[in-house]
Amino acid sequence: MPSNTESIRPQSWQGIDDIVIIGGGLAGLFCALKLAPRPVTVLAAAPIGFGASSAWAQGGIAAAMSEGDTFDKHLADTVAAGAGTVDEKMARLMISEGPDRIRDLLAYGVPFDRDLEGKLLLSREAAHSERRIVRVKGDRAGKAIMEALIAAVRKTPSIRVMEGYVVEELISEGRFVSGVIARPDAGQSTTRVAFPARAVVLCSGGVGHLYQVTTNPTEARGAGVGMAARIGAVIADPEFVQFHPTAIDIGRDPAPLATEALRGDGATLVNRAGHRFMTDLHPDAELAPRDVVARGVFAEVQAGRGAFLDCTKAVGAHFPELFPTVYASCMEAGIDPVTQPIPVAPAVHYHMGGVLVDADGKTTIDGLWAAGEVTSTGVHGANRLASNSLLEAVVFAARIAENIKGMMPEPRLYEWPKSAGESDDLVTLEDSPQLAKLRRLMSANAGVIRTGEGLKTLIREIVALEEERGRTRVRFANMATTAKLIATAAYLREESRGGHYRSDCPEPREAFHHRTFITLKDADRIAAELVG
């Protein structure tokens, strides 16, 4: 059995790392490449390319690059999908830099689809007014982008990638982050390692596995938001969680995804009786904003009528070549999407909220930058526009690199603790009864449809879970913190807007026509009042 205390081994071969990037997804790797030749250490919980939602992204990257498309049109679509809370200045900045970042990715070797003339082949997705999605082989954009970036990273001598390091804590001195503490061996080691740093870039991904049904990899557990909140960072818009309407409902965890592009190409949603139910709910039917489609699918499933994505006419025999990833997932489950409708259900797909950052990716804590899904830049508002997420990741990762190059803090001396406190036993989080209970509670009370009473119950239960002495204390504390921030912000927002829907407050209210900014102290105060 491990001892009750554990040592922290400072890295000795470089002393103070110049820059530490937490996360080996698109944002983390792109930032590392943009920082070259400045020394960078990338800490990845899983082998790079395997633990990141980026690699699973099917649709592609949105960028206004076609004839007839404009930045203004892309911005208008983004603002419309965001349900009134998009930061338009940040969104315009992201959109205007999109084409340059696409060209960067092409330079790194990403094989985006092209037409016979060699021009980028652009597709359309839900709530986009133009064809502006840059894809790879239909549904393999994320995988292809990550493969190209991983190859580029491996060839870059200034980037040190350390795989299997689960970051558990950000170390701060007052309002300044001075490093991180990580646990090697995919989080199973009894010894933790300190990485002092002059700059820390948080690119740790989303929150999907705080819920029972999600399309995210298991590493997406909200740890980054929790770590930042626990050292005082401001968190923005945590209540806004996007549920993808068409996760393939075959009982897998995580759930495979039936990409939005299928509906963009004409696939329809029907119930067991063959009725196309989305035409009853929105003028854009299957191409309505994701929150609307998710609630429509959820209602059919809850009513026992089932929900199915029928691609037999729109895609048909071309399915294997146009959407090979979706085709493989269906066939593994005994479903032939060429001739059979695909059973679907809503699943947690993307978190619009996260650590508040400015236009340069700086958080409210000095020395800490952040990019990707762990952040809230304000560009998504209450409901992300399809394929804007990968765009956001590369745009702000590049801006962080430029900002760090221009204002790297002077080296400092650090005194590191000899012990990190009580050790977590060698147990995976999947074995944690606290995590299993938390996921059930989040799905039941902070899911597609929420109520004030359900959120009160959830907050009280999270507090009770935090008080239990679980075997995965540090990592579970990060996740419970993020869950509490989501639940508390959802409880305070007494309206429905974007990805946040409360059946007891079903309409948007002008009093809540703004973003949410919250700290862990705020959430703890509200939780204490509810617990009594």
Q: How far apart are CA 162 and CA 506, in angstroms?
A: 47
Distance, C-alpha 488 to centroid of its chain: 19
d(CA 43, CA 65) in angstroms, rounded, equals 34
Rg (CA), the chain: 22
The CA-to-CA distance between both ends of the chain, in Å, stands at 38
CA distances from 233 to 170, 292, 370, 429, 520 (A): 11, 32, 11, 25, 8
> Which position has the token pair 């049109």?
73
Going through 445-520 in order, the beta strands assigned E by DSSP cover: 517-518
Strand pairing of 40-44 and 159-163? parallel
Q: Burial, 339: exposed, middle or buried (Cβ in 10 Å; 0-12, 13-18, 19+)?
A: exposed
Pull the structure tokens for residue 8.
């922290």
Tell me how far apart the alpha carbons of residues 209 and 124 are, in angstroms, rounded to a whole number: 29
Q: Are 310 and 267 in contact (CB under 8 A)?
A: yes
Which amino acids are annotated catalytic?
A: 290
Which of 357, 352, 394 has the alpha carbon at shortest distance from 377?
A: 357
With residue 63 as reference, give the H or E element that holds it: none
